[in-house]
Amino acid sequence: MLIKSYNNQNLDLDLPSSLNLNNLLALPALIDPHVHFRVPGGEHKEDWKTGAQAAIHGGVTTVFDMPNNTPAITTAEALRNKKQIIDEQLSEVEIPLHYYFYFGATPDNLEEIKKVKDEIIGIKLFMGSSTGNLLVDKRSNQEQIFKLAAELNLVVAVHAEDEIKIKMQKEKFKDNDSIKVHGLIRDRSVAASAVAQAIEMAEFYKTKLYVLHASTKEEVDLIREAKAKGVNVSAETTPHHLFLDSEAYAVLGSKAQMNPPLRTPEDQRALWAGIADGTIDTIGTDHAPHTLEEKARAYPDSPSGVPGIETSLPLLLSAYNKGKLSLEKLVAVMSGNAQKIFELPETNDWVIVDLNLEKEVRNEDLKTKCGWSPFAGWKLKGWPVATVLNGKVYNF
Ligand code: DOR
Ligand code: ZN
């Protein structure tokens, strides 16, 4: 059956006749370069059966999974073990999702990095602490990792938050248990100072740097400047940082708690401007499910992280419908740029979208095991209706 693609080609795809193709458009399937599918150790939040279903439901056929598992993925053995579990779970649900691994850096696992260099998409470096126990906060250790990564031609993906500042501000706000202090502890300077440091190291060692979840105007400015100087840096932002700001705590409470935290409308404008001028390369969902029960704990015991893989495409299609970005740009930041930066093989995967479909985000419709979204109740215009993975159509 012929279907029109976003760049006006006619594609011949084997689609079910129940789809009314007149209103539909095919886009390259999404690459989500930042997910936490929680295997092993966090299977009560997500596993690869529910994670893969959620991915397909969101139009995503390729994911990069993060290493902050239990145990953390910092040895070749842990990586091998994780891969085996994933392959079993994916075959159980018959979804041959394309996946790649980030490998966790520690202060002393350089030898393990060398062992797995051909099996990973990059090294994940937590400059500041977040969910899990991965942390490399000493500059000298960070330098060793940047140096080795450059020698091995590996990307270093940074969770750029300054641990020293986080610790100081935790102390400062220790008597205040309001969720709003989350953004004061991990304030904008926490992120900006770590990004500046990561850029310095990438410049010095000529390392490929990928800044995860850029959230502030200062980070966008630093990355823009570094790119102009020829530093090999690319950057991601997330749907939650684009569409929610720190006012959301009042409505969502800890469902709006993540690292880095939500920022201001001015930061959001800077992120959109960064997308427009190419400073921001990708949108990664940082899909980081936690159960509602866990989220219901009082701050600071409530965990940081929100699910996002099923809502990112409708959010961006709604932004397209409001004129905030073109379809070409949407495809670039949600698929094409990640493919180029990480040199991924081409796929023939597609997501079929209805640009005019208006629908509310409903927790009941989600496939993620955690069963909730910070965007529940949002009415969005433009939704995926089917995903094509390796020639098989997943209709929903
Ligand atoms: O909010 C976050 N959640 N940020 C992270 O860095 C980790 C993630 C998680 O794994 O829950
Ligand atoms: Zn993350």
Q: Are 196 and 211 in contact (CB under 8 A)?
A: no
Ligand nearest to the CA of 46: 1
Does ligand 1 come within 6 angstroms of the Cβ of 159? yes
Does ligand 1 come within 6 angstroms of the Cβ of 374? no
Q: Is the dihedral of CA 322, 326, 327, 330 positive or negative?
A: negative
Nearest to residue 64, comparing CAs of 121, 135, 133?
121
Q: Are 313 and 58 in contact (CB under 8 A)?
A: yes
Give the mutation target among 65, 130, 211, 291 for probing the ligand 1 site: most ligand atoms within 8 A of CB.
Answer: 130
Does ligand 1 come within 6 angstroms of the Cβ of 305? yes
Per-residue pLDDT of the chain (396 residues; tens, 9 = 90+): 889 999 888 888 888 888 878 789 999 999 999 999 999 999 999 999 999 999 999 999 999 999 999 999 999 999 999 999 999 999 999 999 999 999 999 999 999 999 999 999 999 999 999 999 999 999 999 999 999 999 999 999 999 999 999 999 999 999 998 999 999 999 999 999 999 999 999 999 999 999 999 999 999 999 999 999 999 999 999 999 999 999 999 999 999 999 999 999 999 999 999 999 999 999 999 999 999 999 999 999 999 999 999 999 999 999 999 999 999 999 999 999 999 999 999 999 999 999 999 999 999 999 999 999 999 999 999 999 999 999 999 987
User: What are the backbone dihedrals phi and psi of residue 229, each rounded to the nearest 5 degrees, phi first?
Assistant: -80, -5
Is the whole-model pTM more than 0.95? yes
Give me 140's structure tokens.
């000298």
Ligand nearest to the CA of 129: 1
Nearest to residue 143, comparing CAs of 104, 198, 88, 64?
198
Q: Where are the beta strands (DSSP E) in 145-299?
A: 155-159, 208-211, 233-237, 282-283
**Domains, the chain, with CATH or none:** 2-395 (3.20.20.140)
Helix axes of 265-277 and 217-228: crossing angle, nearest 10 degrees: 20
Does ligand 1 come within 6 angstroms of the Cβ of 28? no
Four-point Cα dihedral 93, 56, 72, 375, nearest 10: -130
Q: Per-residue DSSP letters for 50-115? A: HHHHHHHHTTEEEEEE----SS-S-SHHHHHHHHHHHHHHHHHHT---EEEEEEE--TT-HHHHHH
Does ligand 1 come within 6 angstroms of the Cβ of 288? yes
Alpha carbon nearest to ligand 1 atom 7, residue: 131
Q: Which atom of ligand 1 is nearest to the CA of 130?
A: 6
Residue the block writes with tokens 């630093």: 222
Active site residues: 286
Task: Report d(CA 148, CA 124) in Å as an integer.
Answer: 13
Q: How far is the CA of 212 from the centre of ligand 2 (A)?
A: 8
Helix axes of 48-57 and 76-93: crossing angle, nearest 10 degrees: 60
Q: How many CB atoms lie within 10 A of CB 371?
A: 14
Q: pLDDT at position 1, please? A: 82
Give the mutation target among 161, 297, 304, 369 for probing the ligand 1 site: most ligand atoms within 8 A of CB.
Answer: 304
Q: Which atom of ligand 1 is nearest to the CA of 36?
A: 10
Give me 264's structure tokens.
């201001």
Q: Which atom of ligand 1 is nearest to the CA of 290?
A: 11
Ligand nearest to the CA of 34: 2
Distances in Å between the alpha carbon of 384 and those of 11, 46, 222? 17, 22, 34
Does ligand 1 come within 6 angstroms of the Cβ of 130? yes
The verdict on whether omega for the bond into residue 303 sits within 30 degrees of 0, i.e. cis, is no
Bridge-based pairing of strands 155-159 and 233-237 is unpaired
Give me 44's structure tokens.
């009560």
Q: How far is the CA of 301 from the centre of ligand 1 (A)?
A: 14
Left (φ > 0), alpha (ψ -120 to 50) or beta: where does 38 sit? left
Q: Tell me how many degrees the CA angle 225-226-231 measures, rounded to the nearest 5.
A: 155
The verdict on whether omega for the bond into residue 67 sits within 30 degrees of 0, i.e. cis, is no
Distances in Å between the alpha carbon of 144 and those of 110, 124, 148, 158? 8, 14, 6, 14
Residues with Cβ within 5 Å of ion ligand 2?
286
